[in-house]
């Protein structure tokens, strides 16, 4: 497992000036005019852009079955950062043993990479990977950290 400096990793926001355009009525003339202002907003920062398809292909070349399983889960995550699939489906798609899939999913749960929502439905931690804009990511982050973990993770065999 790769260890990171937790303080460094948590700095994911910065304040920036965002130009805003408004139409207002000039009190002297009564005409509609454009007014430009700046607002300070908190935005995402310190992120790297990754092209998941290329990363997944590179991981697939490495050949480790657990990497192939993780790659499969990440590339088949929907726009809400949810992966839907049974152990058997993953095993067939990655040509892995169901025990290997089971062990890998347990490792991902323990490492807080994924969170079980219900049987066969997993929410990917948006701090690990996310596809989409800032607002949607913030909504899913909130959901990820406020929903309680569901019992019934796969059993070690």
Q: What is the pTM of this model?
A: 0.56
CA 132/CA 112 separation, integer angstroms: 20
If you average pLDDT over residues 110-129, what whole number do you get? Answer: 87
Return the CATH class of domain 66-146.
mainly alpha
- What are the residue ranges spanned by the domains of the chain? 6-44, 66-146
The answer to whether 107 touches 66, Cβ cutoff 8 Å, is yes
pLDDT digit string (tens) for 47-83? Answer: 555 566 666 666 665 558 888 898 889 889 888 889 9
CA 93/CA 1 separation, integer angstroms: 25
Does residue 23 register a pLDDT over 50? yes
CA 130/CA 152 separation, integer angstroms: 25
Residues 6+ positions from 116 with CB-CB distance below 8 Å: 109, 122, 149, 150, 152, 153
């Amino acid at each position: 497992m790769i260890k990171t400096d937790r303080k460094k990793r948590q700095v994911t926001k910065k304040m920036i000036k965002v130009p805003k355009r408004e139409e207002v009525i000039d009190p002297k003339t009564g005409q509609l005019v454009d007014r430009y202002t700046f607002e300070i907003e908190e935005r995402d920062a310190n992120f790297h852009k990754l092209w998941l398809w290329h990363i997944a292909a590179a991981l697939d070349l490495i050949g480790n079955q657990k990497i192939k399983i993780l790659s499969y889960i990440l590339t088949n995550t929907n726009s809400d950062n949810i992966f839907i699939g049974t152990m058997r489906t993953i095993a067939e798609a990655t040509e892995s043993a169901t025990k290997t899939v089971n062990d890998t999913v347990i490792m991902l749960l323990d490492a807080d990479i994924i969170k079980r929502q219900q049987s066969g439905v997993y929410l990917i931690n948006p701090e690990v990977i996310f596809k989409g804009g800032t607002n949607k990511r913030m909504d899913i982050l909130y959901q990820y950290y406020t929903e309680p973990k569901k019992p019934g993770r796969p059993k070690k065999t």
